[in-house]
Amino acid sequence: MTPEIAFLPGWLVQHAPPLLVVTPLIAGVIAAVLPSARASWGIVLAITFFAAAMASFIAMQVMEVGVWSYALGSWAPPLGIEYRIDGLNAGMLLLVAVIGFLCAIYAPASVEAEVAPENRSAFYGAFLICFAGLLGVAITGDAFNVFVFLEISSISTYALVAMGAGRDRRALTASYNYLIMGTIGATFFVIGVGFLYMATGTLNMADIADRLQGLEGDRTVQAGFAFIVVGLGLKLAMYPLHSWLPNAYSYAPTLVTAFLAATATKVAFYTLIRFVFGVFDPGFGFAGLSMIWLIAPLAAAGMVVASFQAVFQSDVRRLFAYSSVAQVGYMLLGVGLGTAAGMSASFLHLFNHALMKGTVFLALGAMWLGFGVTRITDLRGMGRTMPYTSAAFVIGGLSLVGVPGTAGFVSKWALLVACLDRGWWWAVLALGAASVLAFFYVGRVLEMMYLREPPQHDGHAVTRSPAPLAALAPMWILAAANLVFGIWADIPVRLANAAAAAVLGSAP
């Protein structure tokens, strides 16, 4: 497929899929070696803007025309490596690219405050390489390339988390734990891919899916499925494989936390769906049973247990890290339903959760820049001292709870309806319990911000200069998106329905 767009050069249109990945990968190396951190940031800003534009173009073409297959090196698949974009991953590419661009705008404020001067260029380089790796995972149609890009994004992420040591030395331990758990997950995943190669003799995911027909009872295929599910479960922080996430989110630089919360676990979730429903036949007995008896119960348990853990946290970023584990449970529950409505609701919540957590973590970052906020008690009176930032945080928090008029309500309602259609009353109860707990842990933070007096110094409330405009603009863009898509949800719903159609062959 080579779509015609009059205002774009023909070569750019033709090679848009590989350019989306190769450009940030090469630029990351250049940014890392530049002596000026400001110049490195300029490269990050330009490249992420280019990626957002290309991802928007690709998503529009896929929605209008259909699957876009690009053969690297003119080697036709399945012999050559294929980049393949359909309704399932077009929205993922767009999500990663847009969030990356917004985080790039936010970057200077966070990096100058939290990263040592000698590490800043390297930080920007690692950010672009992580960005390229996530895009590569989402776009490739080759199973081994998924592993390669997962490791590219993961290794750079370990470095990004560790660079938070300039603010809190515990970032080093968090990075090390993340490295160990991530390596175990990657090892499980690549072993699973190896089993699939043994059974089929190919690494192209579409070709693997064709050759797996009739191999339902093959023990090698079943072992490959198990290894892949566990490996990707570690990567996406599926309960109870989530132990790396709370510390990584708590002690990483603010920019890294916001970017990872909005993209990394989402890409891992997409990859799990791609393999479970795109490579393995959903009709396989072991695949279907794993959804009903493994994924769905663990998802429900994660929703409730992680939300319960969030209620008792004293570190505000750690609180919302546990909340992220719970939100992964919401997404996995929709998948476990095995219906078009459930799948659509999962992807709708995926998009909306990126908006919620992006808003919340960028707002917390702005508060840290202004007041050094790390604990919930540090937020006393913040609604008065930083009213606009606090208002954005409120929007993200209410969306997380699922208050009507916010994006979170739209996806939670879709998930609730999908559970009722399936007759899963126990899942409805889990949804209700998790939402009530979310009300308590978000309400606890809001009570501290609005119903407590600001700290006093010499009889006057403590005030400081607000966060830079560059830190506030991305936060308010995401906050506004929470409201806009809570009222007019056409775009995310279309993307979610397209994902469900690509996976199951039908949309709700």
Model confidence band, residue 1 (pLDDT cutoffs 50, 70, 90)? very low
pLDDT, tens only, 274-283: 998 888 876 6
**Cβ atoms of 449 and 381 closer than 8 Å:** yes
Which 8-state DSSP code applies to residue 461?
Answer: E
My answer on whether omega of the bond before 24 falls inside 30° of 0, hence cis, is no
- Strand-pairing partners, residue 71, are 82
3-state helix, strand and coil shares in percent for the chain, rounded to the nearest 5: 80, 5, 20
Render 59-90 in DSSP notation, one character per residue.
Answer: HHHHHHH--EEEEGGG--TTTS-EEEE-TTTH
The reported pLDDT for the residue numbered 116 is 87
pLDDT for 456 beyond 70:
no
pLDDT, tens only, 288-343: 778 888 888 999 999 999 999 999 999 999 999 999 999 999 999 988 888 889 99
- What is the rounded distance in angstroms from the CA atom of residue 175 to the CA atom of residue 181? 10
**Entry pTM:** 0.92
**Cβ atoms of 338 and 228 closer than 8 Å:** no
Structure-block tokens of residue 247:
């510390």
DSSP, collapsed to helix, strand or coil, labels residue 130 as helix
Of the chain, the percentage scoring pLDDT greater than 90 comes to: 59
pLDDT, tens only, 80-116: 888 999 988 999 999 999 999 999 999 998 888 888 8
Model confidence band, residue 461 (pLDDT cutoffs 50, 70, 90)? low
- What is the rounded distance in angstroms from the CA atom of residue 85 to the CA atom of residue 18? 11
The reported pLDDT for the residue numbered 458 is 46
Taking CA atoms, 193 is separated from 81, 204, 232, in Å, by: 15, 11, 12
Which 8-state DSSP code applies to residue 456?
Answer: E
- What is the rounded distance in angstroms from the CA atom of residue 253 to the CA atom of residue 256? 5
pLDDT, tens only, 234-283: 999 899 888 899 999 989 998 999 999 999 999 999 999 999 888 887 66
Structure-block tokens of residue 380:
């006393």
- What is the rounded distance in angstroms from the CA atom of residue 109 to the CA atom of residue 429? 42
Q: Give the domain ranges of the chain.
A: 305-508
Indicate the burial class of 458 (C-beta count within 10 angstroms; 0-12, 13-18, 19 or more).
exposed
DSSP, collapsed to helix, strand or coil, labels residue 142 as strand
- What is the rounded distance in angstroms from the CA atom of residue 266 to the CA atom of residue 84? 18
pLDDT for 465 beyond 90:
no
Model confidence band, residue 43 (pLDDT cutoffs 50, 70, 90)? very high
Q: Which of 59-68, 103-112, 374-383, 450-459 has the lowest mean pLDDT?
A: 450-459
Structure-block tokens of residue 204:
């192209």
pLDDT, tens only, 208-229: 988 888 777 788 998 999 999 9
DSSP, collapsed to helix, strand or coil, labels residue 403 as coil
Give the pLDDT mean for 132-137: 95
Give the pLDDT mean for 415-440: 93
Structure-block tokens of residue 500:
């469900």
- What is the rounded distance in angstroms from the CA atom of residue 409 to the CA atom of residue 288? 29
Indicate the burial class of 118 (C-beta count within 10 angstroms; 0-12, 13-18, 19 or more).
exposed
